């Protein structure tokens, strides 16, 4: 119940998956933990359309902020998030389970009002 996933379909075909978690935590903040589209469906406006729809649903539920992490160098994803109103809140280095260190950014979308 703390997470919701959304299968993204385009013309009857499953082309991606978005997911949020933190729905049951105290406060009004959730995390976008997954936003993935098949490569053939990227850069066509589908991701931003899905993200805007998801943001509208979350706002309707009283959520005040959505956060996410993405690789600092993932420019296409960052452009999509920024186009939808997300802003970089901080830059961090995350250590992965295999020991690699990856520069990432934490982005926030804060609902007005």
| Inter-residue contact 62 to 29 (CB < 8 Å) | no
> Is pLDDT at 31 greater than 90 in this prediction?
yes
| Distance (Å, whole) CA 31 – CA 93 | 18
> Is pLDDT at 25 greater than 90 in this prediction?
no
Residue 41's pLDDT band, with cuts at 50, 70 and 90, is: very high
Give me the sheet containing 87-95, strands edge to edge. Answer: 3-10, 13-21, 29-37, 65-71, 101-110, 87-95
> Is pLDDT at 18 greater than 90 in this prediction?
yes
Residue reference for tokens 């082309």: 15
Q: Chain-wide mean pLDDT for the chain?
A: 95
């Amino acid at each position: 119940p703390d997470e919701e996933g959304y299968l993204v379909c385009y013309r009857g075909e499953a082309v991606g998956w978005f997911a949020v978690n933190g729905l049951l935590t105290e406060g009004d903040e959730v995390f976008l933990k997954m936003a993935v589209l098949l490569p053939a469906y990227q850069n066509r406006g589908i991701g931003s359309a899905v993200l805007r729809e998801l943001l509208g649903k979350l706002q309707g539920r009283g959520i005040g902020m959505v956060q996410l992490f993405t690789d600092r160098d993932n420019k296409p994803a960052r452009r999509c998030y920024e186009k939808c109103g997300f802003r970089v809140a901080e830059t961090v280095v995350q250590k992965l389970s295999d020991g690699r260190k990856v520069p990432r950014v934490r982005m926030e979308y804060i609902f007005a009002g």
